[in-house]
């Protein structure tokens, strides 16, 4: 890296393996390095016995890769709950997106857009070879890093956007982890505006148009960030989705146990914590009822409300609607125990 002043890019097909490596004992220094390299302007000195000292003028690392939804959920939950990931590393993945899977598959058999690919690569090359003086960038006496400013109109727009951001992250309506993530938009948005300005061939002060594009891009990124952090904040919702689908497709029958849920290691239900969170949510929504097994009262089984199959529970979880109001139901387990009870749902408040 000390030989590449513009920094380096790390491409990992599976980022989860990289994150878990940084969690291991003995990798504290490496983790600290990647935390510092996010800024792209800090100096970093690397000492190794027998290998001498490596001095990096500007530690700058970019990372591109993918991660499975269940894995990112597991890691984010650790960050939210004060685990090993609670140091701001996950919040540094500012451009993270959560792709949607469409219900209908369509075969697309065409050659990639070579012209668009060439333009994108040419833009990267131009930015990499950029001469700061050529675009009107200047540097202060306190720093040798050249910069561009917003013009007057863009500065007013940025100040208004910044004021709204600061208000939103201070009203305690989101988790601390998400607040930390969005707080880094103070740097992300102007950085995106600068890149858009330069990519479009702009010179001198950054006008309002590239800033507007950056703000709109930030709105999209925030929607994805909320979904990612939602995996940790509302584990029961994602786990509830997974459990309801297994019940609907017949993978779980009336009278199933907690062990029946987590033993197959289904996505989103791979451990006791996720399985119990899913069961508790569906009990709260009056779609399940926990009761003693007819074989042993020490064993808890879960009866399925017949209304469950009529209410489209997966859609209901998405909408966070109120549970069906106290629908009486008779299950195989209830009949075996010789009692019929009416489930009275508790109030359900969306997060």
The pLDDT of residue 313 is: 56
DSSP per-residue codes, 193-247: HHHHHHHTT--SSB-HHHHHHHHHHHHHHHHHHHHHHHHHHTHHHHHHHHHHHHH
pLDDT digits (tens, 9 = 90+) for 170-211: 987 787 888 889 999 999 999 999 999 999 999 999 999 999
The predicted structure's pLDDT at residue 83: 57
- pLDDT of res. 103: 78
Chain segment 29-43, per-residue pLDDT in tens? 888 888 888 877 777
Task: Tell me which residue has tokens 């609607």.
Answer: 321
Is the model's pLDDT at 215 over the cut of 70? yes
Residue extents of the structural domains in the chain? 1-66, 68-99+120-233, 235-337
The pLDDT, as a whole number, for residue 273 is: 82
**DSSP state string for 139-203:** --TT----B--B-HHHHHHHHHHHHHHHHHTTSS-S-HHHHHHHHTHHHHHHHHHHHHHHHTT--
pLDDT in tens, 227-263: 888 777 666 777 888 898 898 888 998 999 999 999 9
> What is the phi-psi region of residue 338: left when phi exceeds 0, alpha when psi lies from -120 to 50, beta otherwise?
left
Tell me the mean pLDDT in the region 51-57.
Answer: 71
- Answer whether residue 66 shows pLDDT above 50: yes
Name the β-bridge partners of 48. Answer: 52
Residue 335 has pLDDT above 60, yes or no: no
Task: Find out whether 90 and 76 touch, Cβ atoms under 8 Å.
Answer: yes
Residue 63: phi and psi, rounded to 5, are -135, 135
- The pLDDT value given to residue 20: 84
Higher pLDDT, 164 or 171: 164
Nearest to 305 by CA among 335, 336, 282, 338: 282
Q: How far is CA 257 from CA 78, 237, 247, 254, 341, in A?
A: 27, 19, 12, 9, 19
- Please report the pLDDT score of residue 203 as a whole number: 94
Mean pLDDT score across all residues of the chain: 80
CATH 1.20.1050 for domain 235-337: no
**Of residues 118 and 332, more confidently modeled:** 118
The answer to whether the beta carbons of residues 288 and 303 sit under 8 Å apart is: yes
What integer is the mean pLDDT of 304-333?
51
Contact 80, 177 (CB under 8 A): yes
- CA nearest to 230, candidates 77, 48, 5: 77
């Amino acid at each position: 890296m000390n030989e590449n002043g513009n920094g380096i890019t790390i491409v990992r097909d599976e980022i989860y393996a990289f994150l878990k490596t940084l969690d291991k004992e003995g990798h504290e220094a490496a983790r600290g390095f990647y935390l510092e390299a996010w800024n792209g302007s800090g100096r970093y000195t690397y000492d190794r016995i027998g290998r001498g000292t490596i001095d990096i003028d500007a530690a700058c690392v970019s990372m591109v890769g993918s991660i499975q939804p269940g894995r990112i959920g597991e890691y984010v939950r650790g960050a939210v709950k004060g685990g090993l990931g609670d140091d701001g590393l996950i919040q540094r993945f500012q451009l993270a997106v959560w792709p949607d899977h469409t219900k209908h598959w369509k075969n697309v058999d065409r050659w990639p857009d070579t012209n668009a690919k060439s333009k994108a690569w040419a833009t990267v090359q131009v930015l990499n070879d950029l001469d700061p003086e050529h675009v009107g960038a200047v540097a202060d006496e306190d720093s040798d890093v050249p910069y561009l400013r917003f013009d007057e109109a863009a500065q007013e727009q940025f100040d208004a956007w910044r004021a709204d951001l600061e208000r939103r992250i201070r009203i305690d309506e989101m988790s601390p982890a998400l607040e930390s993530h969005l707080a880094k938009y103070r740097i992300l948005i102007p950085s995106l505006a600068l890149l858009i300005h330069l990519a479009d061939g702009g010179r001198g002060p950054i006008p309002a148009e590239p800033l507007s594009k950056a703000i709109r891009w930030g709105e999209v990124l925030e929607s994805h960030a909320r979904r990612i952090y939602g995996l940790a904040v509302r584990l029961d919702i994602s786990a509830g989705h997974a459990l309801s689908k297994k019940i609907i497709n017949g993978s779980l029958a009336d009278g199933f146990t907690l062990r029946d849920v987590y033993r197959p290691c289904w996505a989103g239900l791979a451990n006791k914590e996720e399985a119990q969170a899913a069961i508790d949510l569906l009990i709260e929504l009056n779609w399940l009822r926990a009761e003693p097994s007819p074989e042993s009262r020490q064993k808890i089984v879960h009866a399925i409300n017949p209304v469950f199959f009529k209410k489209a529970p997966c859609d209901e979880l998405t909408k966070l609607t109120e549970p069906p109001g106290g629908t009486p139901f008779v299950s195989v387990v209830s009949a075996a125990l010789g009692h019929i009870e009416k489930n009275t749902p508790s109030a359900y408040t969306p997060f």
